[in-house]
Every structure is written in structure tokens, then in C-alpha cells.
Structure 1
Amino acid sequence: MEEIIQSFEVTKGKKSGDLLTEKSDDQKLKIGFLACGYFEYWRMYEGLREQVVQDMETIADRLSQNHHIIYPGLVETLDTADEAGRRFKHDHIDLLIISEGTYCPDYFVHQALGHLADNIPLICFASQAHSKIDFNSGYDQSLRNSGPMGVIQLTGGFRKMGKYEKYESVAGAIDDDEAYEDIDRLIQVFTTIKNLRNMTIGVVGHVFRGMYDFNFDKTAVTGKFGPHVMDINIDHLMNIYEENGDTDPRIKALCEQSRSEFTVVDLEDEDITRSARLGIALQDLVKRYKLNGLVLLGQHHIEVKANASCYLGLSEILSKDQAVAVTEGDVLGCILSKVLKDFTGHTAFYGEWEEMDKSLNAIMLLGHGFIDPRECREDRPVYIKPACENWGFEGNSVGFESTYKPGPITMTHAIQDTKGWRLLISEGELLDTPPMSINESYMIVRVHKPVKQYFEELMHHGFSHHSIAAPGHVGKQLECFARQLGMDVCWL
């Protein structure tokens, strides 16, 4: 009998014609390394070629420690440039790093580039053999350090031609750890951009009524960032919820885990059980529909249907790296949560701009009921308490109260307005402040300008009332991300 292919709308998690059978996971980039030297110099200075070959091998070996590098060897003639370009094309590289061990004519590089797509991402590494000028060396060592001249010539030509306009640049010696860290950060940006194209975001519900700052065009979101935004009817979630029933052993296990790992205040067993049942259903939804991101509307929507808050389930999804997840229909916030997690290695905090404190020169970011417990301060309990806002459930339901560890922090969000796409970037310091008892998670962040001026400028820029925040200062990476996607940057 011929197999009948049906939509995910009716298959209830079985194989369908409009869902991938396997979830798309993040992939590392294949990176080409184009290392150049000029054949004319070899006859002039005995031993120089051998030194340059070793210098470029040093770069290739260092890059290979963290990345999949394709290195065809030193390009020193037009033929070897052409061969390198053909090799890169054959291996389908995602990114090309260009460096020069001596000055090299720019047409060598263009010969290789001619085999690749016009929009191939480029990192131009102005490298040199020594980190200091040797005042006692000969001209041969000046040539060995002349690569930056060639790279500067190359990038000047790019600008003049109007080609490869989004190349990124790094400068440093071949043993400069900071230079390789800069390259690593740039590679992460390009990796994230590629992996966003394979991301599926499931949306249950819609943007909270009003919230015009969040309303989005799915086509524009996919066109700019890459993810596929998939509407999931709440019936799909509630069908899973009903299929599991209230005797699923995972519900009891999650309740026991919650009481073991968190400090429970003013919640009855039944309150936690209802949240756990919804939490298991949410995890099953992510698995069933192969989601990389989950966006919910809890208020007067899911919470009414399940008679429980979503927060325990969302915290589990985050802490088990099943997906990135947000609420209130904030699809862009979901995307930026993925970006910050890639850049920092930490789960982003999903907050909103709340209060200001002039004495601390700080702002409060207020959470949305859930948090990744792995990110919470280890010297304080992680509380689960009655959710601070009730949007349709009876009695109490689970909400998290905690904060992240003190230290540097980066905050961001994106918006599309009448002039195009813009990205907010702000760096600050998460302060070590006394604990709050507000039945909600929070951050107290010191900013780098007077806090009243900070809020005034935030309003003047006109951004989302949500703030996606993560430990570490990654503003420069976000700036690169915006540049590659053609977004205007607003530093705050």
C-alpha cells in the first residue's frame, strides 16, 4: 500500500511532509586559509621562503586548534593562487581567512577569489613574524614582516572596486594570542549567522496585545536573520498535554527534582504538579516539532488552558539546552537569545527595562518568571514561589526568583522600524546587591553613563521594552553581527 504523506497538523509527531525528520543542529564552519608570499623575493634572499612557509604554517596550525581549516599551502605564484581557489571551491568553504607572509600582489588573491562566491565572508589578517621592530635586522626580515602592507593594499582595492564590502580585519603577530582570540570571535559571528538559517522557531500564540514594538513580519525576519518561524496552534500543545495525562512518571520526577534543587516557598504540591505537567508537555512539543527556539504567549492563553504557568517548563528547556525560549510573542528576543548564547556561552536572561537607581547608577532588568538555574548565583538559594502575576490559572503556580552571578554583562535587542533594522548594544556590570524578595528573577546592572540620561537615550533610540542580557562583554561581536546583516548599530 502506498504511503500517504500528511502534514504535521494531523500526524501528531509522526513523520510528515512539512517537518524535518531530524532536528537541525548547529554546525562548525569549513574555513579556508589563503596564505600568500611573493616568489620574486625568494631569489633575492636565501632562506626567506623557508621562514615564510613556517610562519604561515604557524598560523594554520593555530587556527586548526579550534576550527576546521582547509590550508592548501603557501600561495606564491599565480598558478598556486588559482589552485588554492579551486580547492576552496571544491571543499565548499563557508569563510576565507587571508594573510600574507610577505607583501604579495593583490591580483594573486583575486585569482583565488574568482573561484568563490562574490559574497564569501572574509577575514583579512594583517600578520607579521615579529611583535616588535628589530632595529638590528636586515631587509630580509623587513620583507618577512611586510604582509600588512599587502593586506592593506588588498582591502584598499576592495573598497575601490566596491567588492567584498563586509570583510572583517584583524592585525597582530603570528604568535599574538589576542589576535587569534579576535579571529575566534569573528568566526563565531559567521558561524552563528550560518546556523540561524537552519533554526526553526515555534510560536504558540501571538504577540501580547498591543506591544507594537514586538509585532513582526515573518518574511522580513527570515529574510534578515534566517530562521523559519513556524506557527503552532495551541491545540497541538494541549493534545500533548492530554496524551501525557496526569500520571506520566516524568511529572512526578520533575516535581521531586524541583523540590530537591530549589527552595520552595508558599507552594503546594498540587501547584508544582500542574506546572510540571505543562512543563513536560512543552518539552515534548519542542522534541516533536524539532524546534530550536520556542516563543509562547502564556497570558490568558496557555495558562488558562493548562491552569498553570509556563515557567517551570521553560526553565527546564533552557537548563537542558533543548531550545532557546521566550514569552509574550517576542520572536526577535528569541533570536537574540540564541545569538548571545553563542557569543558568551551562557543562557541569556530574558528581562525588561524596569527601574533605575541613581545612587547605584544602575537599572533593574525584571524577568518573566523563568530562568536557567545553571546561571544563578551559587551562594544563594534559587527560589520557586507563587508566580508574581496570574494570567488565568486558579490558585498559585510556579515562578522563579533568582539572579545571575555578578560581573560584566551585555544587553541587546533588535527592532525593525520605518528606516530599516537596528540593533541595540549596551555593556554594563551586574552588581552584587542584596537579594530581593519579589517572586521574580531580576538583574541590577550598573551602566556607563548617568542612569537618567541612559533611560532618556534608550527612549530616544526607540527600542523594544525587553532586554536580552548575558554575562560577558561581547559588544564588538554584536557590532560585527549587525554589520554583516546590514543593520544599523545603536551603542548605549
Structure 2
Amino acid sequence: MNKEKPVVGFMAVGLEPYWGQFAGMREKCEHHHEIMKGKFAPELVQIEDAGIIDSEELARKAGENFAEKRVDIVFCQMLTYAASVYIAPVVRNLDVPVILLNVQYKKSLDYENVKGIGDWLGEGITCAGIPEATAVLKKLGRKYAIITGHMEGDQTVEKEMNLWCSAVRIKKILSTKNLGLFGRSYAGMMDLCVDETEIFKKFGTYIHHLDWQEIIQTGEEVEEERIVRRMEQMKDLFEVNDDISDEDLHYIAQTAEGCFELVERYSLSSCATHYEFDAPKEQRDLVAALNPAMTVLMTEGIAGAPEGDIKAALAMLILKETAGNAMTAELYSMDFNDDTCLIGHSGACDANISKEKAVLKMSGVLHGKKGKGYVAQFYPDPGPVTMLALTDGPDGNYRLVAAEGMGVKGPILELGDTNLRVKFPKPLRAFVNEWSIEGPTHHGVLAKGLHIKALRCIAAVLDIELKIITEETVE
């Protein structure tokens, strides 16, 4: 549901004196610039192309244009050697990451056919200006990174470009959308406490405090046709237990649609929910329906965290947008027989984490809360996984804590909670100690796939520390 596209300031640099010295070089460089422009994924970004910059005057104009267009990141293509005065004026007044594209046209020079200096300068000297550019960017205090490779079938180049584009997209979602807090954080879980102004200051995310009654009222106003469509979708997501009637399913779908209305009304990208009260019947019915209703929202892209955990909701948004799937992750239990950790959590879950449908059933007890409710246990597939948590320290600074591991087959808990056995590159005892000692709060997020490389980009873009517990990448 988060369709925001960051604006990419795209530029190339080359040395103006070369154009007069070597016939056809500028035309060749223009062709190379178009090739690189085509490597951006149009579904991810909007491109603001400044073309080839080969003078200080053009650099100043490009900087003014990028500032006016409010670009979220600058990609600078090194076409050949270029003086840093073609770069510095562009980014002097821009507080955005600068990615230097050290991408030469060919994988290797055709040495036998390099007959003159122009053949070399136009084909394989992109790296010559990189140290000068980084020296100046460092002095200017700009965040920068380098992508190195070649244009001919180098998939690594495109992957790394997409990582940076995705990272600034996540930053844009955080800074332009809000988080809906239904209820409040679980009383007594002091690790969940946040300074909402500090959240807004760091991420740009405003926290809307929303009332249970507003969900009820909004759901009651939803057109019947929408509720019926949502019921059909839920039958695709869940194996509905016999003890759940069509009337029950209708109410869950109505609740989900009410939540979607609030997502639109308050421009929400994430939610955190919690209740622990003896409520009137209509509110008891609502909170009972929350798990499957929030599962629908999470599956369609709205991050959701239990127990009012705002930091976990933000971490889920980050990992969900990166991996396309995510689930709440709490260290459940340790199995020293096979050195694995059982990881999971009760409540809503993103259905994209599992190929199997969840069994939707009524539970008479929701541990740690009052009343009954619907539970749905998904079954994540074995394979590589990434775990992430967002936390803050005594200095108030936020940081990410991450680890990669391997989901493995084996016995799990069949209590209605989504959970998975995970083996980490470190021994279990060491992993649990090192993860916990970072103070990551007790809710994390787990996603399929290895995503630490992407998280490095995200941490750089958000300007927060990333603590990696498992340096070794799992194959």
C-alpha cells in the first residue's frame, strides 16, 4: 500500500577539454549515460536527470534544480576522469546520500584495439576521479558510497543501485506517513516506552493515538460489497475452522475494512495495537477480531506490531519493505539439542511469510491479556532469514540490531502462534547473549531472505547505527 517514489537526482560528469580533443567522445559518453539511466527501476523511483555536467556553472544549476525538486538521493555517474568542481557545487546544499557510479562501459579494455588516448578515456577510466570525488565529499561532510562494476551484464551494479533506491524509499515512507497507535503500550513493559517527539525528529513519523470506538464506527460505515470481497480474500489466506461462522468472518472482514479506512484517513504506514481491559461487548468483539484483521493489513503492506510496540512497528515497516514479508519475532525458547532458537509471537502475522494457509480458530485464552480472540498460526518455510530490532539507548539515539540465520525443520509450538526454529552462525548460547546484551527490546522482526546488505544502506540513509550480531553470511 506504500507507493511513495523517491526522487533520484541523476547526473554524470566528464572533463570538458576532452570533448574538443577526442572526436566522438562526448557522444559516446551520452550513450553510456542513457544506458545507466535505464538501469533504474521505474517502479521504485522518479528520475530527475541533470545530464552531463562538465562545468562549474552547470554544476551550480544542477544543484539548484535538485534542491527545487527535493531529490532524496544523488547518483553521480563517472563517465571518465572529471574534476571535483563538477560535483561539489551540486551537493553543497543537499543533505542527501551521494552514490558515485564507478561503472565503466566494458568489462575489460580491448587492449589490441586501443589505438589512442581517446579510446582509453572513453571506455575504461571511470575510477580515475573516484578518490578525488570522495576526498571532496568527505570534506563537505556528505554521506556517500561507491558502486563499482561494468555496464555489460553486471547484475551486481543494478542490485546495489536498487538497494539504495529502496533505502531512500523507506526513509520517504517513514518521513511522510504516520503510525497508528490503537490502545497503548503494554503497561509495565518499560522497554517499549518511546519519546514520540524524538521519533518524529529522527524518522518524521507522527504517532496518531486512535480510539477503539473509531474502528467500530468506521467498520459499520463500510459498504457491504467491500466486506464481502474481503471475506473472499480471507478464505484464501486462512483455513477457517468449523467453530467460526460466516457471521464471525463477516465481522472480522468488517473490522479489517474499518482499519483500512483509518489507514487512508490518517495516512498510516504502520500500526501498533494493545488492549488489556474488561470492555463492553462491542469492544470485546472488536479486540477478538484484531489478530486476523491486522493480518490482512500486514499482508497488504501495513506493518503491525503487538502490545503497542512502536519501535517494533517501525522495524517491521523497514524489514517488510525490504523483504516483502515480515513477522513479529521474540526469542521463545532455546533447544540445546540441535543449537536452535525458537522464534515467533502471538497475534497478527504477515501471510507472505508462509506458503501454507493459517488455520483460523477461536482461542478461549490470549495469554497476557483479558478475554478470548481469534488466532491464526502461519508456517514459515525453512531457509535463510534476517532478524531485526529497533532500539534506543541512554543517549536517546536510535539504532538497528540485525542478524542473519537459517530457518530449519523441526518441531515447533502448535499453540496458535507463528513460530520457527532458527539456527544462527554463532552457537546458540553466544547468539542469545550477544543479541540480548544490545538491549534490542523484546520484540524484533523476522523475514525470509538475507538482508543485512540492504540494512547497511538503510542505516546509512537514516543516519543511525547498525549493530550486526552475525557478521558471517549464511549460505
Output the TM-score relative to the length of structure 1: 0.83
Task: Give the AA of the match of 2:8.
Answer: I
Distance 1:60 1:240, change over 3 A: closer
Aligned to 1:204, which of 168, 182, 194?
182
Q: CA deviation at 1:276?
A: 5.5
Task: Give the AA of the match of 2:33.
Answer: M
2:403 corresponds to 1:423: no
Distance 1:385 1:48, change over 3 A: same
Distance 1:35 1:465, change over 3 A: same
Task: Give the AA of the match of 2:149.
Answer: G
Q: CA deviation at 1:89?
A: 4.0
CA-to-aligned-CA distance 1:14-61 (integer Å, 9 cap, x gap): xxxxxxxxxx95421222221111122234433333322322222123
- Counterpart CA distance in 2 for 1:475 and 1:302 is 43
Counterpart of 1:339 in structure 2 is 318
- Counterpart CA distance in 1 for 2:310 and 2:429 is 29
2:298 corresponds to 1:318: yes
Comparing 147-156 with 433-442, which one deviates more in the overlay? 433-442
Counterpart of 2:451 in structure 1 is 474
Q: CA deviation at 1:449?
A: 0.9
2:382 corresponds to 1:406: yes
Distance 1:113 1:272, change over 3 A: closer
**Contact between 2:78 and 2:100, CA under 8 Å: does it hold in 1?**
no
CA-to-aligned-CA distance 1:112-142 (integer Å, 9 cap, x gap): 335xx33133111112122225443354343
Task: Give the AA of the match of 2:417.
Answer: E
2:156 corresponds to 1:178: yes
CA-to-aligned-CA distance 1:209-261 (integer Å, 9 cap, x gap): 221111111001111111110112334345556x569x978778766765675
CA-to-aligned-CA distance 1:449-487 (integer Å, 9 cap, x gap): 111110011122121111211122121221222223332
Distance 1:302 1:377, change over 3 A: farther
**Contact between 2:163 and 2:457, CA under 8 Å: does it hold in 1?**
no
2:438 corresponds to 1:458: no
2:415 corresponds to 1:438: yes
Distance 1:26 1:275, change over 3 A: closer
Counterpart of 2:473 in structure 1 is none
Task: Give the AA of the match of 1:75.
Answer: I
- Counterpart CA distance in 1 for 2:370 and 2:252 is 13
Q: How does 1:26-425 map to 2 (within 5 A)?
A: 26-63=3-40, 65=42, 67-114=45-92, 117-136=93-112, 137-138=114-115, 139-144=117-122, 145-159=124-138, 161-164=139-142, 166-175=143-152, 176-240=154-218, 243=220, 262-265=238-241, 267-269=243-245, 278-279=255-256, 281-300=258-277, 305-307=283-285, 308-321=288-301, 323-344=302-323, 346-378=324-356, 381-387=357-363, 389-390=366-367, 391-393=369-371, 396-419=372-395, 420-425=397-402
CA-to-aligned-CA distance 1:77-110 (integer Å, 9 cap, x gap): 3344344334434544332111221111111222
- Counterpart CA distance in 2 for 1:459 and 1:119 is 34
Distance 1:306 1:170, change over 3 A: same
Query: What's the secondary structure of 2:39's corresponding residue?
Result: helix
- Counterpart CA distance in 2 for 1:206 and 1:77 is 56
**Contact between 1:99 and 1:151, CA under 8 Å: does it hold in 2?**
no
**Contact between 2:9 and 2:75, CA under 8 Å: does it hold in 1?**
yes
- Counterpart CA distance in 2 for 1:84 and 1:400 is 53
- Counterpart CA distance in 2 for 1:157 and 1:72 is 20
- Counterpart CA distance in 1 for 2:280 and 2:230 is 19
Distance 1:239 1:358, change over 3 A: same
**Contact between 2:105 and 2:150, CA under 8 Å: does it hold in 1?**
yes
- Counterpart CA distance in 2 for 1:260 and 1:491 is 37
- Counterpart CA distance in 1 for 2:60 and 2:259 is 53
Task: Give the AA of the match of 2:309.
Answer: D
Stretches of structure 1 lacking an aligned partner (at least 5 in a row): 1-23
Distance 1:285 1:130, change over 3 A: closer
- Counterpart CA distance in 2 for 1:163 and 1:320 is 39
Q: CA deviation at 1:291?
A: 2.9
CA-to-aligned-CA distance 1:305-361 (integer Å, 9 cap, x gap): 32425212111222344x3222201111111211112212x2311121111223443
User: Alignment identity in percent?
Assistant: 21
Query: What's the secondary structure of 1:213's corresponding residue?
Result: helix
- Counterpart CA distance in 2 for 1:141 and 1:406 is 51
- Counterpart CA distance in 2 for 1:60 and 1:320 is 30
Distance 1:201 1:54, change over 3 A: same
Task: Give the AA of the match of 2:132.
Answer: Q
Query: What's the secondary structure of 1:426's corresponding residue?
Result: strand
